[in-house]
Amino acid sequence: MQRLIGLPAIALGLCFGLAAVPSSAAEPDPDTAGWQQAIDSFIEEMAGKHQFSAAALRWVFAQVKPRPGIIRAMTAPATARPWYEFRAAHVNRSLIEGGVSFWRRHAAALARARREYGVPEEIVVATIGIETRYGRHTGSFRVLDALATLAFQHPPRAEFFRRELEEYLLLARESGFDPLGVRGSYAGAIGIPQFLPSSYRAYAVDFDRDGKRDLVASAADAIGSVAHYYHRFGWKEGEAATVPASVGGDLDTAGAGTIRPDTPVGELRRRGITPLAPLPDDALAAFFTVEGESGPEYWIGLNNFYVVTRYNRSINYAMAVLELADELHAAMRRPGPAPRPRTPEGARRSGETPGEGSAAPGPAPGPPRGSYCRAKATRWSSSSRMPIRSPMAWL
């Protein structure tokens, strides 16, 4: 059985340990009938469906309170900002320099992930950079509080987060950690790559081969898990992800914004959407727009773009991952410190390939990569160590 490290651990078959509960003095009194009824119903379901101890779960949930700040954060996500603002916050000098440093420190794991899963180093590094600044900011919310708040106090996505809460408790039981001791994002995402519990259970891998799937403390496990995730969702090695497009003057773009590539490029051409790079007519694509500083930008998204949106279903997020990946690939080909990023309107539209214009860029190892968002995209083809005081067990 695989276990996690970097998390407060308790032995399977024993009771839940005591965990410190953050003060809720600044939060409103959450004692509402709806909250308690929802918890009671969930506990009954977990006991019947997964044979949890209802008494143990009641003990745990007695220490959980809804956090209104989590609801506020969910209703105003950062990915909802205009693209040009989101890009400036996520494709910048700090993230490029940090990404180069992370890549150099973990080059062996990144290269092995590429060999085993076919996902380029820059895509993995960019994803981790945008998620947690390369593991520096993994979240301060107690995961159980976050998931319970969203499952029982946020009706628009209650069903989704109720399932994630179920997955989280199963993950805790399987891995032997204290569910009250883990912190993550306001949405309940965990560790360096910010996996939700269902993704943790399904896609996390023990990439450092120490017998544990540890996304909290093991950069190697995080690297392998991100690559494995993209591989499982269908990343195609050597293919472009997006291509800029031009549109006819009378084109109705009201429907732009879809992300599933299910329209042949030939059909897009007949509608007045012209890819600014060679694409075969039978390639499946999506047409979308983003908000640039000077007006709308038009893009064609291909399979690999869609795969990145499986990590976060935001066009802005996927575009930032791909553009940061381009910048990281270029920076790794240049000697010396990481360069400043190119302007948003510059190289990615001019068709400049990574390394052009730099001092002695040198060839990149392996097949050419790093043109995910450019016109020249020809490659389409222990807090719980206190004495245990509850006699209740998991099972």
Instruction: State the catalytic residues.
Output: 131
- Find out whether 370 and 329 touch, Cβ atoms under 8 Å: yes
Which residue in the block uniquely carries the two structure tokens 């960019």? 126
Distance, in Å, from the CA atom of 178 to the CA atom of 184, rounded to the nearest integer, reads 14
Distance, in Å, from the CA atom of 114 to the CA atom of 231, rounded to the nearest integer, reads 10
Q: And the tokens for 227? A: 């690559």
Q: And the tokens for 182? A: 């883990």
Q: And the tokens for 178? A: 């204290």
The C-alpha angle 37, 38, 40, rounded to 5 degrees, equals 65
Q: How far is CA 369 from CA 38, 126, 289, 375, in A?
A: 50, 14, 24, 14
Where do runs of H (alpha helix) occur along the chain? 33-50, 54-61, 68-75, 83-90, 93-105, 107-117, 121-132, 143-153, 158-175, 197-203, 219-232, 265-270, 303-309, 315-333, 347-350
- Find out whether 325 and 120 touch, Cβ atoms under 8 Å: yes
Contacts 24+ apart (CB under 8 A), 347-354: 347/374, 348/244, 348/323, 348/373, 348/374, 348/375, 349/244, 349/374, 349/375, 350/375, 351/375, 351/376, 352/376, 354/326, 354/329, 354/330
Q: How many helices (H) and strands (E) does the chain have?
A: 15, 7
* DSSP secondary structure letter of residue 23: -
- Find out whether 389 and 18 touch, Cβ atoms under 8 Å: yes
How far from chain centre, in Å, is Cα 315? Answer: 13
Q: And the tokens for 390? A: 């509850």
* Beta pairing, strands 242-247 & 295-301: antiparallel
